[in-house]
Structure 1
Amino acid sequence: MTRCVFVLDLFNGSAVHAVRGERKKYRPIQEMSKIVGTSSPLSILDLLRPKEVYVADLDRIMGAGENLDLIGEIARRAETMADIGISSKDELDLLPPSVKPVLGTETGFISLLEEASSRRDVVVSIDLFGGEVLSRDPALKIPPLDLIRKLNPLPIREVILLSLDRVGTSKGLDERFLRAAADLSDHPLLLGGGVRDVRDLERLEDLGLAGALVATAVHRGKVPLDALRG
């Protein structure tokens, strides 16, 4: 089966259920999960034992606090990549060396992606809403397929296609876009948002993607825990 990276969205030290990027409406994960009865991120990791974790520090992304110590603890339990809303190269050092920084287009700039990828093993998240790239930087706010081409020369570990309007919706795959993206990209691609079940994960492999970020499908019991354990 294709690679599955388990998602932990952190807000006020708890794991929350992300839906469509509407961050103020996120609720504790235990309110919707069929597989965990807690919203404690470390307890969830101890129960599920995923091999890889993607962490979004929503407090820091929204400029209202941070969960950096907690991310350090998470990294002791699983391979970890983390989006903490990095907007300058100095902020890379906020994450321990064992954590791969995720640089999102929503908070980053092309100059940051160029500098950071030459200094450290980084992941770039192309943050999308309605098929358009979210960014304050005109150099990044271009059609997503054009941006994939633009990133090809950079020494990036991998690229996440994060469709925020599909997060938490179990909406399924935009196969046409994903196939075109995989054909263009020189980097491994991970999908974030919309995965419904195991069949979607198998389809991603057919489309040429390296894997997916998964949370809602796991909590709804549609993706088996073995898929997370590698």
Structure 2
Amino acid sequence: MTSELNLIPVVDLLKGQVVRAVRGDRKAYRPIVSALCASSDPVTVARILCEHCAARQLYVADLDALQGGAVQIGVLADLLQALPDIELWLDAGLADASAGQALREQLAPYASRIVLVFGSESLRSREALERCFEATGGNGTDANDPGAALSLDRRDGQRLDAAGCWDAVDLWPKRLIVMTLERVGSGAGPDLETLQEVRRLAPGATVIGAGGIRSEDDLACASAAGADAWLVASALHDLQLPRVRR
């Protein structure tokens, strides 16, 4: 790998299967067809992706929950049980801190390995944003609570942000995801301009980009732009990134 950027593989779950995310158009997502994994089974795909990236984290987007349905607790528990050394970053459309706490309780045996992702597209209010990170600041300083992250979501130049997260820099936690949905699965390249702006506003944060990675060169450019890590899926399934050796 030509970059020191940390790769975090992504599994998008829909009705118990892994699907391919393309430009945030969730109604058009279909079960994954992959050159890397001959399956859409979540545990199989997750294990192969994590091995390919030598990953210590796995990002899971529960698309059922993100679209207003029930969280796929059974599938999530299967992933956590099958990958005991992996920290799971979970985006399940959480509207507030209480929803996050309820989710932790449902996955209680694995709670110490779950980083809750609160997305700006899902948070219901500014008050909800204030309460999400007040205990740990998203740092995970409690050994039994690895904390949380804020995903700053946008699509086609528009912020998905009813709660005003993008402008509440003083409320940002120490882990930030820059999610440019139209770049996801598009092969259009990473949104480095937005990432650089977030990095400028939060120089001490861990900043994770999402969407658009096509090659090792893209990873190197993302690292130079200030990214600490990047969420990847399509580039792995399409064999655009070589296996990481540690």
Q: Same fold (TM over 0.5)?
A: yes
Match in the other structure for 1:173: 190
Alignment partner of 1:214 out of 220, 232, 240: 232
Q: 1:131 to 1:47 in 2, by over 3 A?
A: same
In the alignment, what sits opposite 2:44?
Answer: 43
CA distance in structure 2 between the aligned counterparts of 1:110 and 1:195, rounded to whole angstroms? 32
How far apart, in 2, do the equivalents of 1:90 and 1:178 lie?
29
Q: CA RMSD in A?
A: 1.8
Structure 1 residue 47 displacement after superposition: 2.7
- Provide the rounded CA distance (Å) in 1 between the counterparts of 2:160 and 2:172: 22
The partner residue of 2:57 within 46, 52, 67 is 52
Q: Is the 8 A contact 2:96 2:129 kept in 1?
A: no
Which residue of structure 1 aligns with residue 69 of structure 2? 64
For residues 196-219 of structure 1, give each alpha carbon's deviation from its aligned partner in whole angstroms, at most 9, with x where no partner exists: 111111111111111100000000
- Per-residue CA distance 1:132-170 (angstroms, 9 max, x = gap): 210233x33xxx5xx3xx33x346231101011111001
Q: Which amino acid aligns with 1:51?
A: R
1:100 and 2:108 correspond: no
Shift of 1:187: 1.5
Corresponding position of 2:142: none
1:82 aligns with 2:90: yes
Paired residue for 2:132? 116
**1:65/1:205 CA distance change after superposition, 3 Å:** same
Say whether 1:131 aligns with 2:148.
Answer: no
Structure 1 gaps of 5+ residues are none
Alpha-carbon shift at residue 131 of structure 1 (Å): 2.2
Distance in 2 separating the partners of 1:119 and 1:131: 32
Distance 2:26 2:7 in 1: 23
Query: Which range moved further: 59-68 or 157-166?
Result: 59-68
Determine the C-alpha separation between the residues in 2 that align with 1:123 and 1:89: 12
Query: Partner of 1:209: helix, strand, or coil?
Result: coil
62-71 or 100-109, which deviates more: 62-71
SS in 1 for 2:118: strand
CA distance in 1, matches of 2:128, 2:99: 11
Q: Structure 2 unaligned runs (5+)? A: 137-146
SS of 2:60's partner is: strand
Q: Paired residue for 1:7?
A: 10
One-letter amino acid matched to 1:207:
A
Counterpart of 2:78 in structure 1 is 73
Deviation at 1:11, TM superposition (A): 0.3
Q: Percent of counterpart pairs with the same letter?
A: 28
Is the aligned partner of 1:195 residue 2:213?
yes
Secondary structure in structure 1 of the residue aligned to 2:152: strand
Q: Deviations over 1:49-71 (max 9, x none)?
A: 33211100000111123212222
TM-score by length of 1: 0.87
User: SS of the residue aligned with 2:150?
Assistant: strand
Cross-structure match for 1:16: 19
The separation in 1 between residues aligned to 2:173 and 2:93, in whole angstroms, is 17
Amino acid at match of 1:99: I
- The whole-number CA distance in structure 1 between the counterparts of 2:21 and 2:191 is 20
Aligned position for 1:91: 99
